Structure 1
Amino acid sequence: MSDADLIVRVAARGDGVTADGRHAPLAAPGDRLQGGIVVAGPHHVEPVCRHFPTCGGCLLQHLDTPSQTSFVADRVAGALAAQGVAPPPFAPTHLSPPHSRRRAALRAERRGKRVLIGFSEGGSHRIVDMTECAILAPELFALVAPLRALLGGLIADRRGAEIRMTLADQGVDLLLAKVTADGLAAAEALTDFAARHSLARLAIDDGYGPQTRWEPQPVTITLGGVAVPLPHNAFLQATADGEAALVAAVRAAIGGATTVADLFAGLGTFALALPGRVYAAEAGRDAVLALKAAANAAGRPLAVEHRDLYRRPLMTADLDRFAAVVLDPPRAGAAEQIAQLAASRVPAIAYVSCNPSSFARDAAVLVAGGYRLTGITPVGQFRWSTHVELCAAFARDN
């Protein structure tokens, strides 16, 4: 038996890789590839969901927990190596537990009298009709079966819809997209559904933007101990557990800084959890208004600016006024803002990312500008997926 057949790692898209560079789907470290067949090793486990591996929601349910944590950290280390950045010490990888996903986007399609609801099949537009799910919070999954009956009367045969669910403070915030609900019967069906299932909010989007049909009280999400108004389609960390891990890593990275800039602040996930005086910049108008209202109501010393940091990054002279900077950019990274940060004298930076590749590119610019990459906390909020998040700490010796 050749060591060349041994699966030594899992690649970015979830396939196992042998010591001699061959790729094998659904292989775990320690498996062997023999004659094109994967022979299970000590880290290969039975999937927890009957829909695996057809459903594209999970790609790694065949890995045991140590292999999953290694995969998350290895993705980050590999991205840094590709940019020539020496890896710093890594904190233990944080994996969110099963049944903890508090937001999800599902697809629906009517076929005759049946309504299919679920994630798309891997590499396909076909819907895997969901009968169980190991990642969704129970409150979200509980709506799947009732939604089949509701959507049967709202979408035409062979037509589809989108279901977006978020677990808010008051319950489930439900948005049905590509759905038309005209007439008294449809309106009553929506109201009855919302009341029967104690929804926090129900809205539809027929192509002209979300229209709220049910909201007994203003919907909020608590961030940093503050109830923040929750706009439709607002970004939220996928799990409360993962959010807490990222917040803790950010706070550790900036230490006792009392003047902090939070860039790409969103609804205030980090801004509202930081000590001292905080400046928050965000391009999304609805998020800015929500964060301003929440901070004012809570009496937090938080200055919020509606600012597109891609077109108008905070300049070096402005950055130098802060003891620390926190940034959590979209997947594309923050090239324009990073160029200004690299030339600044900010003592501490906490960089939160959902894309190891764009993070590593930006990290290389900061290191070239004189910053030290002092630590990384890898986070796997999307359990059993190849999606990776992290918080990195940078420091400058002024």
Structure 2
Amino acid sequence: MSTETVTINRLGSGGDGIAAGPDGPVYVPFTLPGETVAIARVKNHGTVMSTSVASPDRVSPACHHFGPDGRNGACGGCSLQHAGETLYHAYKRGLVVDALKSKGLTPDVAPLVIARPGERRRMVFTARKTEKGMLLGFNQASSHHIVDIDECPISSPGIVSRLDAIRLVADALATDSQGFRLTVLETLSGLDLAFEGIRKIGDKQRRAVTECVLSMRGIARVSNDGEILIEPQKPQIDFGGVPVIPPAGGFTQATKQAEEAMASLVLDHLDKAKRVADLFSGSGTFALRIARTARVHAVEGDEKALQALDHASRHAQGLKPVTVEKRDLFRRPLMASELKVFDAVVFDPPRAGAEHQCRELARSGVKKIAAVSCNPVTLARDLSILAAAGYRITGVTPIDQFLWSSHVEAVATLEK
């Protein structure tokens, strides 16, 4: 370990400040461009010891768990609470712009659709049972240490206000001191608690969690590794006026506000389409909205998500026909010959993107495509495949739904 003084030049893709070191870039968390800091350096990672020049863009963090001096340790849930809005918004948009430029793409990129505190309806916590009680919070960055939280400004008030109740349910279910994950989704009918990694749950734990949940209000469902343990009410979310019961632990967009922004962009682009393929459809975020005006074929590899979509479409009124297909689009994308019956396609893949599917789209005659992505790097790769085949990128909109993190969503629209 060495001690040295460095000047931060820029923010990296993970949110750390980056300084130029003698052997390459040095990554310094909790710093901003223009700051001069003394650091303790180990290889290419620096820890701030003192700051001699602070950035005018620096602001006070919104949460007392944030940063190296955070309560109970430096919470790893956020990385950029110290950045003012102007710098932060430019950084988020820049992640998308830079990824596109790396592939030679220079389309119009709209201003960032911003996120606000208190919007997150889905939170993924880490937890562990100890002799002193249940730890519930987030891992410290690059560590297994759990920062036990009592506040979280990014989370919805409906989750933050129930942290003690969530701890009680976790304590009733945990069988040992091993750590586990807990996804909390705020639904219209209560909190949906999806545990992952609690081993050897027996009758004792099942009885305890049942008694615990029935003694309180506001818990709709509790599951572990997809197995429903108790469900006082069906958890329900809304996709454009269509009620959906998501599978236990299933994917949903983290904020309703970002979901609505993405859906609006997709629907506007596919406005006059009559037959649409929704690829990587999940439980119907886009398919059920599109079905108000067009026939939809939804394709998804997760059977439970597809069942939720199918059930919702069958019980909703005012929708055009919706067909579903279980298919691994990474291994078996829809071929160009299968795509010829559609006049528009929307795809929303995981972080790995949709490379193989885009190669088939590039060979197809589909006139309009809406690409939704949570990873600017793979989005840029996928768009470059389509652009090389003659598709014109008509717009790209970055969307923030993971406030104060380095993650950004984007919706790109294309025509041929």
Aligned counterpart, 1:45: 59
Of 12, 22, 29, 1:25 maps to: 29
> Aligned pair count?
386
Runs of at least 5 residues in structure 1 that lack an aligned partner in the other structure: none
- Deviation sequence 1:224-274 (CA, Å, 0-9, x none): 210112111111000001101111111233232222111110111011111
- The answer to whether residue 128 in structure 2 is matched with residue 112 in structure 1 is no
Aligned counterpart, 1:89: 108
- The answer to whether residue 371 in structure 2 is matched with residue 370 in structure 1 is no
Q: Is the 8 A contact 2:173 2:205 kept in 1?
A: no
Shift in alpha-carbon separation, 1:230–1:149, aligned structure 2, 3 A: closer
Aligned counterpart, 1:332: 352
Superposed counterparts of 1:157-236, under 5 Å:
158-177=177-196, 178=198, 180-183=200-203, 187-203=207-223, 205=224, 209-236=225-252
- Deviation sequence 1:72-120 (CA, Å, 0-9, x none): 11111111121222x2112220122111111122111122132211110
Aligned counterpart, 1:61: 81
Shift in alpha-carbon separation, 1:8–1:254, aligned structure 2, 3 A: farther
Of 350, 353, 361, 1:341 maps to: 361
How far residue 7 of structure 1 moved from its aligned partner, in angstroms, is: 4.9
How far residue 373 of structure 1 moved from its aligned partner, in angstroms, is: 1.4
Give the counterpart letter for 1:262 in structure 2: D
Q: Is the 8 A contact 2:282 2:300 kept in 1?
A: yes
Q: Is the 8 A contact 1:155 1:180 kept in 2?
A: no
Q: Is the 8 A contact 2:192 2:221 kept in 1?
A: yes
Shift in alpha-carbon separation, 1:144–1:365, aligned structure 2, 3 A: same
Whole-Å separation in 2 of the counterparts to 1:137 and 1:306: 33
Q: Is the 8 A contact 2:175 2:200 kept in 1?
A: no
3-state DSSP of counterpart to 1:95: coil
3-state DSSP of counterpart to 1:176: strand
Give the counterpart letter for 1:33 in structure 2: T
How far residue 311 of structure 1 moved from its aligned partner, in angstroms, is: 2.1
Q: Is the 8 A contact 2:113 2:398 kept in 1?
A: yes
Tell me the TM-score normalised to structure 1 length.
Answer: 0.90
- The answer to whether residue 308 in structure 2 is matched with residue 270 in structure 1 is no
Shift in alpha-carbon separation, 1:154–1:234, aligned structure 2, 3 A: closer
Cα root mean square deviation, aligned? 2.2
Whole-Å separation in 1 of the counterparts to 2:271 and 2:66: 42
3-state DSSP of counterpart to 1:200: strand
How far residue 357 of structure 1 moved from its aligned partner, in angstroms, is: 0.8
Whole-Å separation in 1 of the counterparts to 2:171 and 2:226: 20
- Deviation sequence 1:357-395 (CA, Å, 0-9, x none): 111111111111111112111011000001111000111
Tell me the TM-score normalised to structure 2 length.
Answer: 0.86
- Deviation sequence 1:274-312 (CA, Å, 0-9, x none): 131111111111111111111111142212111221222
Superposed counterparts of 1:253-268, under 5 Å:
253-268=269-284
Percent identical pairs in the alignment equals 38
Superposed counterparts of 1:114-129, under 5 Å:
114-129=133-148
Whole-Å separation in 2 of the counterparts to 1:191 and 1:257: 51
Structure 1 window deviating more from structure 2 (186-195 vs 373-382): it is 186-195
Aligned counterpart, 2:118: 99
Give the counterpart letter for 1:32 in structure 2: E
Whole-Å separation in 1 of the counterparts to 2:216 and 2:333: 47
Give the counterpart letter for 1:367 in structure 2: A
